Amino acid sequence: MSNILVVDDDSPTRRLLESVLTKAGFRVVAAAHGKEGVEHLRSRKFDLVFLDVWMPHMNGLEVLELMREEQITAKVVVFTSDTTPETILHAVRQQAYRYMQKPVEPDKVLELARDVLAAAPALPIEVVSGRPDWIELLVPCTLDMAERVRSFMAHLDAGFSEEVRESISRVFREMLNNAIEWGGQLDPNRKVRISYIRAKRMLLYRIADPGPGFSFEDLSHAAVSNPEDQPIQHIFVRQQEGIRPGGFGILMSRQSVDELLYNEAQNEVVFIKYLD
């Protein structure tokens, strides 16, 4: 049975999480502020911490820093109504495992707790640049890491319309998973470089993987290579080669953003969304 610590000065949220997680079979301890949470962390081992950011006595970011200094290895889910890039990036620098926006939904909390506890031990994300308008990360090549990064990056676009957020998130997930799975070969010792640039009139993402690249001529199993008069040809290729259904990722990504460009080796991709 996993041990979970909930640290939040908001009493209704704290009681909600404690109730939901306890009913699901977890051993739960609750703390009303960061200092109390640290006392619990020092006195016993926890597998997972749900940590609010802005609290009296000691805020959640300070708790994260202390956990790193004292090598307390519990995975941390940061949850807060603060979606400013500075707060999100601080949490990433301090190796928070996931990010969740308030108000919390019981079903999503429970699903997230199970996913995080089932995941492999956390690997570090390196923040190369942490400016809100220019973010650059080095990320180990694991699929768990892809979901971690996606949860943080999605909140950087909180101020945009739902349509813009969904299109960016969809393309980012597809391109990052491709880079980690195919370029990085799911090798945690290899890293993908992710850049996010936010200008006045555009959002630009760049994803560079450590692999040798690929050729579109060799992607007969992908929809992007279908002849114009045979729009589903790749489906038959995938069936013949025993590949799982799919292959629409690059084609759908091109339709979701304004520009999608590869370098010559095709181990780096840039996609751009222009802002009105």
The CATH number of whichever domain residue 78 belongs to comes to 3.40.50.2300
Give the number of domains in the chain.
2
Q: In this structure, are 102 and 190 located in the same domain? A: no
Percent of the chain with pLDDT over 70: 87
Q: In this structure, are 76 and 143 located in the same domain? A: no
- Which region among 17-21, 58-62, 191-195, 227-231 has the lowest average model confidence (pLDDT)? 227-231
Mean pLDDT of 215-243: 60
Q: In this structure, are 48 and 137 located in the same domain? A: no
Examine the fold and report which residue of 70, 97, 122 is the final residue of a domain before the chain moves on.
Answer: 122
Cα 168 to Cα 90: distance, rounded to the nearest angstrom: 22
- Tell me whether residue 133 is exposed, middle or buried, using C-beta atoms within 10 angstroms of its C-beta: 0 to 12, 13 to 18, 19 or more: exposed
pLDDT reported for residue 159: 72
Handedness of CA 142, 147, 148, 152 (dihedral sign): positive
Q: Which two tokens stand for residue 187?
A: 């090798």
Percent of the chain with pLDDT over 90: 59
Mean pLDDT score across all residues of the chain:
87
Cα 269 to Cα 271: distance, rounded to the nearest angstrom: 7
Give me the residue label for tokens 């942490």: 130
The C-alpha R_g of the chain, in whole angstroms, comes to 21
Q: How many residues does this entry show for the chain?
A: 276
pLDDT reported for residue 229: 65
Q: In this structure, are 138 and 104 located in the same domain? A: no
Cα 60 to Cα 29: distance, rounded to the nearest angstrom: 16
Q: In this structure, are 185 and 269 located in the same domain? A: yes
Give the DSSP per-residue string, 93-137: HTT-SEEEESSP-HHHHHHHHHHHHHSPPPPPPEEEEEETTEEEE
Mean pLDDT of 150-165: 80
Amino acid of residue 266 = Q
**Is the pLDDT confidence value at 222 over 70?**
no
Range of the domain at 22: 1-122
Q: In this structure, are 166 and 109 located in the same domain? A: no
Decide if 86 contacts 59 (C-beta within 8 A).
no
Phi, psi dihedral angles at 157 (to 5 degrees): -105, 25
Q: Find the angle CA(163)-CA(169)-CA(173) to the nearest 5 degrees.
A: 150
Q: In this structure, are 139 and 246 located in the same domain? A: yes
Decide if 214 contacts 266 (C-beta within 8 A).
yes
Phi, psi dihedral angles at 62 (to 5 degrees): -70, -35
pLDDT reported for residue 219: 57
Model pTM? 0.83
The CATH number of whichever domain residue 215 belongs to comes to 3.30.565.10
Q: In this structure, are 165 and 68 located in the same domain? A: no
Decide if 45 contacts 22 (C-beta within 8 A).
no
**Highest mean pLDDT out of 32-41, 52-61, 125-134:** 32-41
Decide if 183 contacts 214 (C-beta within 8 A).
no
Q: In this structure, are 155 and 259 located in the same domain? A: yes
Decide if 50 contacts 40 (C-beta within 8 A).
no
Examine the fold and report which residue of 76, 98, 122 is the final residue of a domain before the chain moves on.
Answer: 122
Q: In this structure, are 272 and 162 located in the same domain? A: yes
Q: In this structure, are 48 and 180 located in the same domain? A: no
Instruction: Tell me if residue 171 falls in helix, strand or coil.
Output: helix
Q: In this structure, are 209 and 115 located in the same domain? A: no
Band of residue 83 on the pLDDT scale cut at 50, 70, 90: confident
- Which region among 38-52, 73-87, 171-185, 191-205 has the lowest average model confidence (pLDDT)? 73-87
Residue 41: closest CA among 21, 15, 69, 20: 69
Examine the fold and report which residue of 67, 96, 122 is the final residue of a domain before the chain moves on.
Answer: 122
